[in-house]
Structure 1
């Protein structure tokens, strides 16, 4: 592994997940040395616990956070608004693996939807055509099933119930993917062993993550200086307004300064916004790159919810992949349903301890016992769709909570938009009808979990006053500062975001490499 001196102006990447890990590999493969600062430890696949709560405590970002707003998460999990990973590989080590693409209209929702009261809709400064070649590269890198000749995953029982229900209610667009989990050996990764532990880290390495693919390959180039347990606390700038260094704390609490030629922030939408807000100065009194006052705003987490259905015979949803199928019939825009945008239905299985915690937080008594006693006979799905960006949904610095380094924690404020509520109610109803069609004896609507899809907060915009960065992810205010994660998403679309984050990172890496080699950065 390359060692880069702290006084050597380097390309510094903050975070090693879908955006940061991909960027590190693409840049080092192009011959550009990089420092990656990862706040969490370097956990290997063999280190994972295949036990839900042990794995959660091992992997999850559990630093202090506060929560506000009327969303259900603020009541159920006030200290855990998001369920993301603090470790090398970031949340790609925890994600389900679903890889649908954004649709064309989802890059131009302001034009498509018009004025939606209360929503801060904005067309992206790029189109689907701009991203399509990078979607191809991302799908090939990740090994997405159903794409580029990759075979489908086998159907487990949870999917069979799901697919039979889809057929009976008239849906046509259902399949066991696309997922970035191998159905057969591919790209150095083995086939899935159908072990059902995707959320706990994949010990088998059949699911794509930057921990499994991009980080090792970047290290093999000899150009990556990977520093785990390195929590970035501030980005500094010179008199010219350009970023000049990154300050970070190691696990012993020692403060370090890494000089920077370019800084790429990929800490997830919550931490990326928080870091910019913490990096205020006389020149940037509202936070670094925040002359527009848009840093932290337009936080999106997708419209979500789950439905668990009980049957008179065993389903054993826990056998096979955690997520094993997708229905896309409702993913298009059809305002006749009573809302704009669309949503996907995706199979989901939780283990008994997680189901007990999340199926109806705070519940107890006979109804709760009935749900848990029927675990073996239960099938489950997650609904995930586009939520409306709102300027008031935002990440700010908490007035009350401090992290372990004494810095203001992030406060996550979120209120559902009326469009989100209408979509969720419609999706709940149609999910229950699907299960009724295959003989469910009962079903339960589970409220949203802590956020796993964290988007917006540093959105792309054509005009500097409307967002934080341009179409390449470069901050409007700081010419050598880039945002490299889901923070850049102008709107959220219906699709799970990881594929799009990876495609954007590959595109950004090409742009950065060209600029660096031309001496323009």
Structure 2
């Protein structure tokens, strides 16, 4: 018989959110098991893979999927894991390993702006959150102190306490952008989970231009650090544990989860409270996979909303040549942005957006482009030097509203373990498209202020994806229109909580991890007071029982 495991809390997913949530329980003396579908990996392994990869612009190349825990890969070709149902493709990229996808994130740790949580009341679009920005502020602060966040204060998101750190040193190119755009636009340093000084036992950023796919010195926080902290505090983290079913009892309480190991041997894990902390694709997939006679639509799905309201942040962009030499590629890859267009009465008509500047070195991309054009010899050297020195790129980061038809379902195709693959149904509505159209005027003005020439807009109607998976298990007070309540507890199951960016009711214009973590910390605090001190009758036990 397969080994059986049990703990007070069983956490599915070992990323920043899952591991940090687990750590809160461990601090109170509870026993915790963390289940991760993918394998362990170390920073030196990832750095070596990146250095050896022939596709330096492919940030997924250092993270090959395990056969027993596949994830989407698109280069050199689509591996077909995330099935596309259209009408617009949704090429999400995420990683199933210990620590999760933030191993290769840009570490942008923005807060929402207060009105993001009230867009239905204020602008007549989307939905309102079940709590206010002011209620979330202390959990934002807690998340920032855990990760080590540096940033400027003038971002449109009020705060009751200062950032843990001052901003990371500004690259020369970004300083020139800020100075030249100042008459029209306020350019600020991005809020990032990246050290500007020694913090958390990790060094300050030294300017490596490879934040994505990997910070080689761990100046940037990631889920691998969070997972290690949880293990150090006593969590039993089981890698290569691909959860394929959640089991409930006759009353609808969750009794156990079942996972496959790489040999497809099945294991059962029992617990008192279960935390689903995978992302906004894998979490609804698991809930749908767990359908039963009692819950034929899947678990937590009496509302029919599991998998629905998928959101991200699509982008269009402008690439142009500035009149002065700037030489992108020194310092972090995404250091500065414009944040004054994130909110306003216009939101009743079109999507708000941030404007984000890249600092990624132009050498590799320009070289490939020129070679593709048949340029070589002295002409290649001349044109490459010019492009590397002068080329700039700015993109918008657009809000997507929650729409039920944008959703994750189960495909009729199966992965290598025989589990149905996730399938994405996705479209980009007129609200977002109008925001993209409006932003073109900002693109043109920025190019003008930089003395730009050779303007190359992204193809009309074409949107890049930013991999900020939101929605699909939205929180709300009404069990008929949401999956979890305002504290992340599933309406249908009293001992199943979801901590994931998938519970965010709206997406705003900011990267989702920071907000997802803040909401998860609020959930953990809600759960913990209900537990008696360790050692009293019915209290969490110390250690893992088998």
Maintained 8 Å contact 1:10/1:34: yes
| Residue in 1 that maps onto 2:487 | 472
The separation in 2 between residues aligned to 1:249 and 1:349, in whole angstroms, is: 42
The separation in 2 between residues aligned to 1:156 and 1:448, in whole angstroms, is: 28
Structure 1 residue 366: Cα displacement: 8.3
The one of 190, 200, 208 aligned to 2:221: 208
The separation in 2 between residues aligned to 1:410 and 1:356, in whole angstroms, is: 36
| Residue in 1 that maps onto 2:450 | 438
The one of 122, 131, 137 aligned to 1:132: 137
The separation in 2 between residues aligned to 1:424 and 1:331, in whole angstroms, is: 13
Q: Is the partner of 1:56 in helix, strand or coil? A: coil
Structure 1 residue 220: Cα displacement: 1.7
Structure 1 residue 435: Cα displacement: 2.3
The separation in 1 between residues aligned to 2:348 and 2:127, in whole angstroms, is: 21
Structure 1 residue 339: Cα displacement: 3.1
1:160-187 Cα offsets, whole Å, 9 max, x none, are 343235314x123x22222111111112
Q: 1:460 to 1:109 in 2, by over 3 A?
A: same
| Residue in 2 that maps onto 1:225 | 236
The separation in 1 between residues aligned to 2:486 and 2:317, in whole angstroms, is: 34
Structure 1 residue 517: Cα displacement: 3.1
Q: Is the partner of 2:315 in helix, strand or coil? A: strand
Q: Is the partner of 2:531 in helix, strand or coil? A: helix
1:189-232 Cα offsets, whole Å, 9 max, x none, are 100111011111222110111312x22222222x2011112111
| Residue in 2 that maps onto 1:311 | 322
| 2:286 matches 1:275 | yes
Q: Is the partner of 2:145 in helix, strand or coil? A: helix
Q: Is the partner of 1:26 in helix, strand or coil? A: helix
| Residue in 1 that maps onto 2:75 | none
Q: Is the partner of 1:20 in helix, strand or coil? A: helix
The separation in 1 between residues aligned to 2:122 and 2:180, in whole angstroms, is: 31
Alignment of 1:213-362 (within 5 A): 214-221=226-233, 223-311=234-322, 314-335=325-346, 339-350=349-360, 355=365
The one of 32, 46, 66 aligned to 2:83: 66
Structure 1 residue 437: Cα displacement: 1.2
Q: Indicate the structure (1 or 2) with the bigger Cα radius of gyration.
A: 2
Alignment of 1:476-487 (within 5 A): 476-487=491-502
TM-score (norm 2): 0.84
| Residue in 1 that maps onto 2:159 | none
The separation in 2 between residues aligned to 1:372 and 1:349, in whole angstroms, is: 16
Structure 1 residue 98: Cα displacement: 1.4
Aligned residues: 495
1:52-76 Cα offsets, whole Å, 9 max, x none, are 36751332633711112233x45xx
Query: Which ranges in structure 1 are unaligned for 5 or more consecutive residues?
Result: 75-80
The separation in 1 between residues aligned to 2:366 and 2:30, in whole angstroms, is: 48
Maintained 8 Å contact 1:301/1:453: yes
| 2:96 matches 1:91 | no
Maintained 8 Å contact 2:321/2:390: yes
Maintained 8 Å contact 1:235/1:247: yes
| Residue in 2 that maps onto 1:77 | none
Q: 1:449 to 1:10 in 2, by over 3 A?
A: farther
Q: 1:371 to 1:297 in 2, by over 3 A?
A: farther
Q: Is the partner of 2:274 in helix, strand or coil? A: strand
| Residue in 2 that maps onto 1:25 | 23
Q: Is the partner of 1:319 in helix, strand or coil? A: coil
Maintained 8 Å contact 2:330/2:361: no
Alignment of 1:31-50 (within 5 A): 31-49=29-47, 50=50
Q: Is the partner of 1:199 in helix, strand or coil? A: coil
Q: 1:428 to 1:59 in 2, by over 3 A?
A: farther
The separation in 2 between residues aligned to 1:357 and 1:249, in whole angstroms, is: 45
Structure 1 residue 390: Cα displacement: 0.6
Q: Which runs of 4+ in 1 moved over 6 A?
A: 356-359, 369-373
Structure 1 residue 237: Cα displacement: 0.7
The separation in 2 between residues aligned to 1:210 and 1:226, in whole angstroms, is: 13
Maintained 8 Å contact 1:35/1:225: yes
TM-score (norm 1): 0.88
The separation in 2 between residues aligned to 1:34 and 1:391, in whole angstroms, is: 34
342-351 vs 496-505, greater mean Cα deviation: 342-351
Q: Is the partner of 1:331 in helix, strand or coil? A: coil
Alignment of 1:424-435 (within 5 A): 424-435=436-447
Q: Is the partner of 2:231 in helix, strand or coil? A: helix
Q: 1:70 to 1:248 in 2, by over 3 A?
A: same
| Residue in 1 that maps onto 2:67 | none
The separation in 1 between residues aligned to 2:438 and 2:485, in whole angstroms, is: 35
Query: Which ranges in structure 2 are unaligned for 5 or more consecutive residues?
Result: 65-70, 73-78, 152-161, 541-546
The separation in 2 between residues aligned to 1:67 and 1:418, in whole angstroms, is: 21
Maintained 8 Å contact 2:246/2:256: yes
The separation in 2 between residues aligned to 1:140 and 1:260, in whole angstroms, is: 30
Maintained 8 Å contact 2:362/2:387: no
1:273-296 Cα offsets, whole Å, 9 max, x none, are 111111100111011110100000
| 2:185 matches 1:181 | no
The one of 195, 199, 219 aligned to 2:212: 199
The separation in 2 between residues aligned to 1:158 and 1:15, in whole angstroms, is: 39
Q: Is the partner of 1:442 in helix, strand or coil? A: strand
| Residue in 2 that maps onto 1:382 | 395
Q: Is the partner of 2:10 in helix, strand or coil? A: strand
